[in-house]
Amino acid sequence: MIGDMSVIVVDPDRDAREIYRRSLASSGIRVHEAIDGRDALAQVYSIHPDAVVVDARLPFIDGLQLCMLLRSDAATASIRIVAITSDGTLEQVRRFRERGADAVFVKPVPVDQLARAVREREMSPLQRADVVAHVAAPPVRPPARTMAKAKSHERYVSTNPPQAPPHLRCPQCDAVLHYERSHIGGVSDRHPEQWDYFVCVTHGAFQYRHRTRKLRAAS
């Protein structure tokens, strides 16, 4: 039964974990959270989940290493692994496949497909090798223009924000930053806010705030 399933969501970003948690919980899946690979590994042995949702960029033990560790231990080898990465290159997807990921999603994650991927216990070898998503995730909440009459200041996450994300480069290596998602909110409808999140494949995540027009490393 779906209600008997449990999953550990491993992501250092609290907002991302919340998005995944809501999607999976709405499908009747019990969700546990971990903020890094070391924490996730400890929870796997104490909780014995049916599945693990793993972000590629994790502190201490990264997503690729975590996949390899889970598959190499007989006690955890059967756990379903769903990997999430900002790097949509075939090389990155191949790395996760080789380390045993059952499904690989390229950000932004289509949350409806994420729940389905966690639930699908029986997959053929061909399916296991080819489940890769490049579809943009729908907004968690309606766009701001549909909320103008009520609670327009309420925070929500979208990949189609009111203000178009700028084209930015990494301040450390000058590589093009890859847009992931936007957080929209503010204290009131008269004081809207938008934070855009970007990723450099070398130097990690960055946040751009439209009001101040400043780019900084995301915590």
User: What tens-digit pLDDT sequence spans the chain (219 residues)?
Assistant: 445 799 999 999 999 999 999 999 999 999 999 999 999 999 999 999 999 999 999 999 999 999 999 999 999 999 999 999 988 788 888 889 899 999 999 888 888 889 989 987 534 333 333 344 433 333 334 444 444 343 344 567 777 788 889 999 989 998 888 887 788 876 666 667 888 888 887 878 888 998 899 999 876
Let me know: does 31 contact 43? Beta carbons within 8 Å: no
Give the separation between CA 11 and CA 33, rounded to whole angstroms.
8
- Work out the number of other CB atoms within 10 angstroms of the CB of residue 215: 18
- The predicted structure's pLDDT at residue 118: 92
Where in the chain is CATH 3.40.50.2300?
Answer: 2-133
Task: Identify any residues that bridge with 169 across adjacent strands, giving them in sequence order.
Answer: 176
DSSP H helical ranges for 27-79: 37-47, 63-72
Pairing assessment for the beta strands 156-158 and 132-133 based on DSSP bridges = unpaired
Give the separation between CA 204 and CA 38, rounded to whole angstroms.
19
Q: Which of 167, 174, 175 is nearest to 196 (CA)?
A: 167
**How many helices (H) and strands (E) in the chain?**
6, 11
Give the separation between CA 105 and CA 93, rounded to whole angstroms.
9
Question: Homologous superfamily of 2-133 in CATH?
Answer: Response regulator (3.40.50.2300)
